[in-house]
Structure 1
Amino acid sequence: MTVDDRFTAGPQEASEVPEGTRSEIVTGPVSDWATDFSHLEPEWAADPYPILDDLRERCPIARTERFGGGWLPTRYADVAAVAYDTERFSSRAIIMGNVRPPRELAPMGDSPPISSDPPFHHHARKLLLPAFTKSAVARREAATRAYCHALVDTLEGLPVVDAARDYAQHIPVRVIADMLGFPPEDGPRFRRFIENVLEGVNKPAEERTAALDELYDYLLDQIRDHVDHPRDDLTTYLVKAELGGHKLEAAHVAGTMALLLIAGIDTTWSAIGASLWHLARTPADRERLVAEPELLPTAMEELLRAYAPVTMARLVKEDMTWNGVRMRADDWVLLSFPSGNRDPAQFERAGEVVIDREANRHAAFGLGIHRCVGSHLARMELRVALEVWLARIPSFELADPAAVTWSTGQVRGPRTLPLRLGAR
């Protein structure tokens, strides 16, 4: 048996984060989105775009006292300015909630590289790049396509299916499990981890800590198994990797794996589901893509722009005045890439879905140094998922528009998506 002292601590000790600044989350009806916004409200989950359009016109940098205080820039230019400004905004916390990790957690953060500040970020990100190049991703396409076909096989003969639950969510679960060398049958656990981390930010801090302990218990079990039984996967790679001539800290390895497991699944699950939702409710676009499958790569970028799933958070480093507003140290800033993608100052017909849009420098994968390292992988999964679905199920519609539900929090996508198959 191989022993690696980095991973011999108990799970709680290895995942424990120093006490940060706590603040109570207050949810409930929003009095005015310009001064009291909350991304956890049901109307935000159901349809945030009218809210964001209104704010962009009358109060482009909204404020809230919830979560201990935060800001919401809604214009593309402002979102980009924060994303690129690592001098005044820290990434040590990317999920806006009731706990602010202490400043001592920087520059690594708890989920490197997405939670890392420069200069540490550059080295942590560079470690992951080989696994996410176009050529590395291309080697996974055949298996992904075969799995999508297998999922569709299980839906044959059913008049109504839940495309979010029975199709979209399973694809990134299988891909990420294969990359990390995790048992694919653990998919239900992955989904529970995602809900706890991304949708459970309104829970008491003690419950959130318990949920994180469960996640890190699992990750450390997987790491120890890979230490004892190395194989050709990303977990073994991280266990063996070095920075500056030293093996990665246990917290670095586990934090990066948590990032890949949670972000790698939820964002793609959401993008696939939102794309199918759009095509189900827009017959002209669906019929055109069935007739012109070569248009899909272009259409896919437009669907990513229009239904970008991800909003990221930053923390203000020091008291300052920024673009006319007085920000306090440790204020949250929500980077709404979905709002930036619908800014008329940046995109013509910004509020429309134009599936043959050619000029489309959208921000669905983020902006700045933290632009998604897995964008090639996400694009492959989305393209293959849509190619297989449209080839096998060219005709479908929403079975009940009112039955569609969307996730809350900073990653938005359909969680229930009943589709009637064979609809004309």
Structure 2
Amino acid sequence: MAVDERFNREPQQQGAEEELGTRNEIITGPVSDWTTDFSHLEPEWSADPYPIQDDLRQRCPIAHTERFGGAWLPTRYEDVAAIAYDTDHFSSRAIIMANFRPPLDLAPVGGSPPISSDPPFHHDARKLLLAAFTKKEVARQEAATRAFCHSLIDSFEGRDLVDAATDYAQHIPVRVIANMLGFPPEDGERFRVFVEDLLEGINLDPDDRAERVNRIFDYLLEQVHAHLDEPRDDLTTFLINAELYGQKLPPDVVTGAMALLLIAGIDTSWSAIGASLWHLAKTPSDRERLVAEPGLLPVAMEEFLRAYAPVTMARLVKQDMNWHGVDMKAEDWILLSFPAANRDPAQFDRAAEVVIDREVNRHAAFGLGIHRCLGSHLARMELRIALEVWLERIPAFTLADPGAVKWSSGQIRGPRKLPIRIG
């Protein structure tokens, strides 16, 4: 067995203690007033957040809530962008708004670098990973991704009803990221559970959440040791061997980065693919046009990303301050809604409409500022291939039951149940 003393800590010490910090009261339930009591966990937000965001943008562009110990929700593009770029006043050490805050000493590294890192560490941690996500590297995954999409649709043979979320969209990023990290593809179901535990279980009791986080890091340590025994040409081996500041990466940085790639690499793309298919299933004119004009797809998918941006990130206020007329306190949450920014009419013409041939589209679906998604080339490839193959193989499809569509809750929004009738 290969020996690497960095990874000899007990698995339960690899991340859970970094997740837990100041515990806040668990607060859920109906919203009384979205300007003063907003909650991104309520069913009406999950089902359709856009009317709520549009109303807030008009009446109270930086909403507040006492839930989760105090949080703010900007809905204008200019405010979202300003906060995203302002690393002096806002910390990224926690990017999932939960019922507790991680300890202050977790900065500047954070639990899942580089997305949870602050300057100056962020720059170096991000630079370390950039080479793995260039267009050239992502192109190496394209043929296998296309073949896998075809195999998924092959499995539909003889069926006129499929779930485009559970039978198609969710499997694609799972397979791609498993290949990149060198994880067993048959572990895909475990990955989906990890996603739900980390991103949709945010209102759980902190002890329960810690147990679920431990399960993720236990699995990641298993994969590290498997790679130590049998090094491979993949991202996991790269992270194990990588050096920063002349030293090998600490275990929590290795496993934290692996957790980021695994969780973020799955849920965001799964959601984007599902939302795009949902739109095409309910909008026959757009579907028919893309079938007739496949060359329009790269432009159309940017519009799907703008209109149905899946990702909302969180920040923490560093110190008491008055920001743009709002009195923020240290450790207040900021819910940084890129979906709301993408539908700001001050930034986009016909912002509420889906215009599949929109020529100018500087959307924020991949974030803004230093934390702009380093996997954007990969996400675009997965979305493009998934839609190309689907439209080629299944040019005619509709929603089987619009009322049966179910969207995820929390900060990553996408269809989790999407019944589609083929033909």
Superposition TM-score tier, normalisation by shorter sequence = over 0.9
Q: How many angstroms apart in 2 are the aligned matches of 1:72 and 1:228?
A: 47
**Separation of aligned partners in 2, 1:2 and 1:354:** 55
What is the TM-score of this pair, normalised by structure 2? Answer: 0.99
Between the aligned partners of 1:329 and 1:22, the Cα distance in structure 2 is: 15
Alignment match, 2:396: 395
Report SS of the residue matched to 1:115: coil
How far, CA to CA, are the matches of 1:14 and 1:252 in structure 2?
10
| Mapped partners of 1:372, 1:95: distance in 2 | 15
Displacement over 4 Å in runs of 4+: none
* In 1, Cα distance between equivalents of 2:158 and 2:48: 32
Does residue 1:386 correspond to 2:417, yes or no? no
Partner of 2:14: 14
Q: What is the letter of the counterpart of residue 400 of structure 1?
A: D
Query: Corresponding residue for 2:189?
Result: 188
Give 2:264's aligned residue: 263
Report deviation, 1:271.
0.1
CA–CA separation in structure 2 for the residues paired with 1:325 and 1:16: 33
Q: Distance in 2 between matches of 1:194 and 1:247?
A: 28
* Deviation readout 1:24-65 (Å, 9 max, x if unpaired): 121110000000000000100000000000000000000000
Q: Which residue of 2 aligns with 1:118?
A: 119
Counterpart amino acid of residue 221 in structure 1: E
Residue 14 of structure 1, CA deviation: 2.3
Alignment check: 8 A CA contact 2:22 2:103 kept? yes
What is the Cα deviation at residue 16 of structure 1?
3.6
Say how many residue pairs are matched.
422
Q: Is the 8 A contact 2:14 2:214 kept in 1?
A: no
How far apart are 1:15 and its partner, in Å?
Answer: 2.3
Partner of 2:165: 164
The CA distance in 2 between the partners of 1:103 and 1:181, in whole Å, is 33
Q: Give the SS at the match of 2:83.
A: helix
Counterpart Cα distance in 2 of 1:20 and 1:149: 45
Aligned twin of 1:201: 202
Match of 2:278 in 1: 277
Displacement of 1:17 in angstroms is: 2.2
Partner Cα separation in structure 2 for residue 132 and residue 171 of structure 1: 17
Map of 1:314-325 to 2, 5 A cutoff?
A: 314-325=315-326
For 2:284 and 2:203, locate their aligned partners in 1 and report how far apart those are by CA, in whole Å: 38
What are the equivalent positions in structure 2 for 1:87-98 lying under 5 Å apart? 87-98=88-99
1:99: Cα distance to partner? 1.3
SS in 1 for 2:110: coil
Look up the equivalent residue of 2:287 and give its one-letter code: R
Q: Where does residue 241 of structure 2 map in the other structure?
A: 240
Structure 1 equivalent of residue 308 of structure 2:
307
Q: Distance in 1 between matches of 2:218 and 2:390?
A: 36
Q: Which amino acid aligns with 1:322?
A: W
Tell me how far apart the structure 2 counterparts of residues 382 and 303 of structure 1 sit (CA, whole Å): 10
Give, in angstroms, the shift of residue 139 of structure 1: 1.0
Per-residue CA distance 1:331-365 (angstroms, 9 max, x = gap): 00010000000000000000000000010000000
2:181–2:236 contact (8 Å) kept in structure 1: yes
Helix, strand or coil: the match of 1:35?
Answer: coil
Q: What residue is the counterpart of 1:5 in the other structure?
A: 5
Query: Which aligned pairs between 1:67-86 and structure 2 lie closer than 5 A?
Result: 67-86=68-87
Give, in angstroms, the shift of residue 10 of structure 1: 1.0
Contact kept, 8 Å, 2:318 with 2:331, in 1: the verdict is yes
Pairing 1:39-188 to 2, within 5 Å after superposition: 39-188=40-189
CA distance in 2, matches of 1:103, 1:348: 41
Structure 2 letter corresponding to 1:194? V
Amino acid at match of 2:254: V
Whole-angstrom distance in 2 between the partners of 1:157 and 1:54? 45
Q: Distance in 2 between matches of 1:99 and 1:197?
A: 13
Equivalent pair of 2:16/2:211 in contact (CA under 8 Å): no
- The alpha-carbon deviation at position 13 of structure 1 amounts to 1.7
AA aligned opposite 2:307: A
* Matches for 1:319-358 after TM superposition, within 5 Å: 319-358=320-359
The reply on whether 1:370 has 2:371 as its aligned counterpart is yes
Distance 1:337 1:397 in 2: 28
CA distance in 2, matches of 1:140, 1:16: 32
Distance 1:411 1:14 in 2: 25
Distance across 2 between alignment mates of 1:195 and 1:13 = 21
Letter matched to residue 419 of structure 1: I
CA distance in 2, matches of 1:157, 1:397: 17
In 2, Cα distance between equivalents of 1:71 and 1:341? 18
Separation of aligned partners in 2, 1:280 and 1:171: 19
Identity of aligned residues (%): 74
The whole-number CA distance in structure 2 between the counterparts of 1:15 and 1:83 is 25
Task: Provide the secondary structure at the position in 1 that maps to 2:36.
Answer: helix
- Could you tell me how far apart the structure 1 residues matched to 2:16 and 2:159 are? 46
What are the ranges of 5 or more consecutive residues in structure 1 without an aligned counterpart? none
In structure 1, distance between residues paired with 2:293 and 2:259: 39
- Opposite residue 5 of structure 1, the aligned amino acid is E
Q: Which amino acid aligns with 1:412?
A: R
TM-score when normalising by structure 1: 0.99
| Cα displacement (A) at 1:253 | 0.3
Asked whether the 8 Å contact 2:408–2:414 carries over to 1, the reply is: yes
Distance 2:17 2:117 in 1: 15
- Counterparts of 2:63 and 2:205 in 1: how far apart (Å)? 26
1:183-213 Cα distance to aligned partner (Å, 9 max, x none): 0110110010000100000110011000001
Give the Cα–Cα distance (whole angstroms) in 2 for the partners of residues 98 and 26 of structure 1.
8
